Amino acid sequence: MGSLLQIVFDALSLGSLYALGALGIALIFGVMRLVNFAHGDVIAACVFALLWPSVDAVAIVFAGNLPWFLLIPFVLAVGAGLSVLSELVVFRRFRRANPATMMIASFGLGFVIRYFLLMLFSSRPKSISLLPTLSQPVEILGARIPLLQLITILVTVAVLFGLTAFLRRTRFGLEMRAAAENFTMARMLGVRANRVIMGAFALSGALAAAIALILGSQTGTANIMMGANVMLMAFIATVIGGMGSLAGAVLAGFLLGTVATVMQVILPPDARAFRDAFVYGAVILVLIFRPQGLLSARGTKERV
Amino acid sequence: MSLLALSNVSVRYGRLTAVRGVTFTLAEGEILFITGPNGAGKSSLLRAIAGVAPPAGGRVDFADHDITGQAPEDIARLGLSMVPEGRDVFGSLTIEENLMVGTGMHSATRGWKARAASELEAVYATFPILKERRHTQAGLLSGGQQQMLVIGRALMTTPRLVAIDEPSLGLAPNITDQVYERLIALRAERKLTLLIVEQSSTRAMMVGGRMMLMRGGEIVLDGDARALGQSEAMQAAYFGYGEH
């Protein structure tokens, strides 16, 4: 019983990370048909924003010492700010470019961010202790669940509810949903393209920051590559979910987290090292039977 | 005083010239039908006016502003509401949400919410079926209902000019009558200016007003709808007799 519960929590917390990442990608894809591969590097940048630049192995903590009620808004602001900045400096110039060009631009931007971090911090992973109280376990029905896992799941659920309410109940949310479906038509109804796109980037960046906080606390390290794995899984989740479908992205994120966790348990020990190969195999199977994604995306219509 | 003025406007898609050197003015409260065969450049002309396909040459003025090459949202905010061909409803949004999208452009002005609510009631009064199904996803509506929705949505922004691409497309004749009745009533009530693209001249002759005929990207005839509609020149120009 206890170990089963453990698996459930593992799956949910890993799925939460993927779902948050997939949402960040799907939000931007929805309004501008851009697959933002720089998303993972924004995650890493958010973690490094807590440290002073140094190439030493020991991290010199800067904002990481702030109390949590300042630390969290600070990291969220860094993520949102960096993301909006990438829109202003890079992606705005590719508005009329085709999706492949935009995707390559996002790869370029990702490399720029990564090498900038490399220059300031070196490629050595640094150990940090972020929100250390969260690593203590709590007992639930005989299972010892790290507090952080619990919080990760709760935060993700809260984010999902908050985002849904925002999209359904606010004027900005309405405009964003309209723009995601038919950008040109929304503009012809007076919806300001730049505002909607910047809003999507800000939200996406804040989601990246949330992942950064979770990953940083979970692993206790800052590593310039730390966003890459989440980004890859999150991207796959948006594809499986149906590009542009937010609900699909979340669903597929949780599904991937579950599959990965279950594989870890049921695969014979010798095969566990190849877990990801099995996960990707499952992904291929899904896409063979549902190439349009689980929840087929609305409004993949051409945007002018 | 003209509300809309085009001078020498041309539209190109790559090497293809869809509209060549179109010039005309439209006065406030006027009703203008643009007719012509498929591929005459009617829709391209509307897209150029609305800022969706910026003109390759020429100049467009609307409400005392040079709107040539302006963003569609800025043109819409000046009071030019466009209903493009192809019923671009937001399929996953409800009917009511579709109708409300365009009202946000007035959110900086006082009392916009009350005005949006009364516009909503007016649209519902014209198309009761929309009210009945207002919480239905727009993607689930029939073609005719979607057409009502996009016209209603354009009126929700309290525009000065409505440009509609083929309002009668896919509508039952009696519904088309209702749509036109409403448009003409609005024209009388608040001097709404109408720019309507229709493939045939039948509707223009029924409603009256001004009519232009486009062929090959140019305006070949311009005059009173009823007089033009009955003329042989219209027939000849429409089908291009004697040019081949």
Fold of the domain built from segment(s) B2-239: Rossmann fold (3.40.50)
Angstrom CA distances, A182 to A140, A176, B98, stand at: 47, 10, 12
Q: pLDDT tens across B10-26, in order?
A: 999 988 999 999 999 99
Cα-based angle B89, B95, B100 (whole degrees, multiple of 5): 90
User: What's residue A300's pLDDT?
Assistant: 44
- Strands in B31-35's sheet, in edge-to-edge order, are B80-83, B161-165, B193-197, B31-35, B210-215, B218-224
Concatenated DSSP letters for A147-161?
A: HHHHHHHHHHHHHHH
CB-CB: which of B76, B101, B107 is closest to A178? Answer: B101
Q: Grade residue A299 by pLDDT with cuts at 50, 70 and 90.
A: very low
Q: Grade residue A133 by pLDDT with cuts at 50, 70 and 90.
A: confident
Is-contact A106 A36, C-beta < 8 A?
yes
Instruction: Report domain extents, chain A.
Output: 19-231
Instruction: Report domain extents, chain B.
Output: 2-239
User: What's residue A42's pLDDT?
Assistant: 96
Contacts of B107 in chain A (CB under 8 A): 171
Residues 6+ apart with CB under 8 A from A36: A24, A25, A28, A29, A91, A106, A204
> Which of A177, A179, A202 is closest to A190 using CA atoms?
A179
User: What's residue A60's pLDDT?
Assistant: 73
User: What's residue B195's pLDDT?
Assistant: 97
Contacts of A193 in chain B (CB under 8 A): 71, 73
Please, is A71 exposed, middle or buried when counting C-beta atoms within 10 Å of its C-beta (0-12, 13-18, 19+)?
Answer: middle
Strands (E), chain B: 2-13, 16-27, 31-35, 57-62, 65-66, 80-83, 161-165, 193-197, 210-215, 218-224
The percent of residues in chain B predicted with pLDDT above 90, rounded, is: 67
- B153 touching A, CB under 8 A? yes
A-proximal residues of B, 91-120, CB under 8 Å: 91-93, 97-98, 100-102, 104-105, 107
β pairing state of B31-35 and B193-197: parallel
Residues A232-238, mean pLDDT to the nearest whole number: 93
User: What's residue A189's pLDDT?
Assistant: 96
Q: Grade residue A295 by pLDDT with cuts at 50, 70 and 90.
A: confident
User: What's residue A67's pLDDT?
Assistant: 82
Please, what is the average pLDDT of chain A? Answer: 88
Beta-carbon-side half-sphere exposure of residue A70 (alpha carbons within 13 Å) = 7
Q: pLDDT tens across A12-57, in order?
A: 999 999 999 999 999 999 888 899 999 999 999 999 988 877 777 6
- B152 touching A, CB under 8 A? no
Chain B: residue whose CA lies nearest to A180: B90
Radius of gyration for the alpha carbons in chain B, expressed in angstroms and rounded: 18
Count of CB atoms situated within 10 Å of the CB of A178:
27
Higher pLDDT, B45 or A220: B45
User: What's residue A301's pLDDT?
Assistant: 41
User: What's residue B172's pLDDT?
Assistant: 86
Tokens 């720019």: give the residue: B195
The percent of residues in chain A predicted with pLDDT above 70, rounded, is: 96
Residue B180 dihedral angles phi and psi, to the nearest 5°: -65, -40
pLDDT at B53 over 70: yes
| Tokens coding B26 | 């439209």
Sign, CA dihedral B227-B228-B233-B238, equals negative
CB distance B50–A188 less than 8 Å? Answer: yes
Q: pLDDT tens across B147-195, in order?
A: 899 999 999 999 999 999 998 887 888 888 888 988 999 899 889 999 9
User: What's residue A296's pLDDT?
Assistant: 66
> Which of A81, A62, A24, A30 is closest to A210 using CA atoms?
A24
- B53 touching A, CB under 8 A? yes
